């Protein structure tokens, strides 16, 4: 098989499966680990993929499509890297903390995994998270108000004014993408002021970023990456220098371990 043919097959696997590992390449094509990694380096240079620890994921377009509208019933597929990041985030919350938890899938997993023994106050801009929090007697919840969007979230001027009147021990946030050059980025500009207000009101800002969000750029930058104090990511985080650049800018990097099956 010519190398071009192998690269085409690797590209198809990435497209269909959303990732590929070095071991999968070596087994499928009968080549060495070194050759498999070289293939991925070449494909990365061509913009086909982004290498991770032990493999690669597809490269994302700037206007990467947004996930469908989230409801409690929709969250049926639990990505284990999202879940482990969420659990690690919860472990960083102390008794009696006041925390902001983002409106996103990983935030939903955080709320689900807050133990009954942890007494805290949670602020959120998500009606979905608020409904989940309402069932927990150990948690006092503040739901931000304003004009609600189609996903049950609040980002408008009313919500921002409420944020400015609050202070958090920690905020747990994410965005469509994060990179050392472009910082935190999202699809639309409406939420920029909201997220900056959340960070301004927090003693510690913690970013929750699975591998597939790191090193990519969406359309609009929210703020530089170093406005975060810490980034929690997963075991597949990129082999490139992105994490090193984050650390050099003063961001603590925490990698969660892959759970045993």
**Model pLDDT for residues 138-196, shown as the tens digit of each residue:** 999 999 999 999 999 999 999 999 999 999 999 999 999 999 999 999 988 889 999 99
**Model pLDDT for residues 92-108, shown as the tens digit of each residue:** 999 999 999 998 899 99
- The beta-strand segments (E) located in 78-182 are 98-101, 120-124, 139-143, 168-173, 177-179
Q: What's the pTM value of the predicted model, to 2 decimals?
A: 0.79
CATH of domain 3-58: 1.10.10.10
Ranges of CATH 3.40.50.10470 domains, the chain: 72-255
Do residues 77 and 225 lie in contact, with contact meaning Cβ atoms separated by under 8 Å? no
Q: Higher pLDDT residue, 142 or 78?
A: 142
Do residues 229 and 205 lie in contact, with contact meaning Cβ atoms separated by under 8 Å? yes
DSSP structural state of residue 236 = T
Mean pLDDT of 232-254: 88
Helix 22-29 vs helix 33-45: crossing angle, to nearest 10: 110
CATH of domain 72-255: 3.40.50.10470
Residue 72 has pLDDT above 50, yes or no: no
Ranges of CATH 1.10.10.10 domains, the chain: 3-58
Longest dimension (CA), the chain: 64
Residues in the chain: 261
Report the SS3 class of residue 121.
Answer: strand
């Amino acid at each position: 098989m010519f190398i071009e043919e192998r690269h085409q097959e690797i590209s198809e696997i990435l497209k269909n499966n959303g990732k590929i590992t070095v071991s999968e390449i070596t087994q499928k094509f009968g080549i060495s680990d070194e050759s498999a990694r070289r293939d991925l380096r070449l494909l990365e240079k061509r913009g086909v993929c982004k290498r991770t620890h032990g493999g690669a994921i597809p490269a994302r377009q700037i206007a990467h499509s947004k996930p469908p509208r989230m409801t409690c019933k929709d969250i049926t597929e639990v990505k284990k890297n999202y879940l482990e990041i969420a659990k690690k985030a919860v472990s960083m919350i102390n008794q009696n903390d006041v925390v902001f938890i983002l409106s996103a899938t990983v935030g939903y997993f955080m709320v689900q995994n807050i133990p009954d023994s942890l007494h805290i106050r949670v602020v959120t801009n998500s009606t979905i998270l608020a409904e989940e929090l309402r069932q927990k007697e150990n948690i006092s919840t503040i739901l931000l108000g304003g004009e609600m969007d189609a996903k049950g979230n609040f980002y408008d001027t009313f919500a921002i004014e409420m944020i400015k009147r609050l202070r958090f021990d920690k905020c747990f946030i994410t965005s469509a993408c994060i990179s050392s050059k472009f910082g935190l980025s999202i699809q639309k500009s409406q939420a920029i002021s909201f997220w900056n207000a959340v960070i301004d009101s927090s003693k510690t800002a913690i970013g929750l970023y699975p591998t597939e969000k790191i090193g990519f750029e969406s359309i609009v930058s929210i703020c530089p990456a170093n406005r975060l104090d810490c980034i929690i990511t997963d075991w597949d985080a990129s082999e490139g220098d992105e994490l090193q650049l984050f650390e050099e800018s003063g961001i603590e990097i925490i990698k969660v371990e892959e759970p045993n099956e």
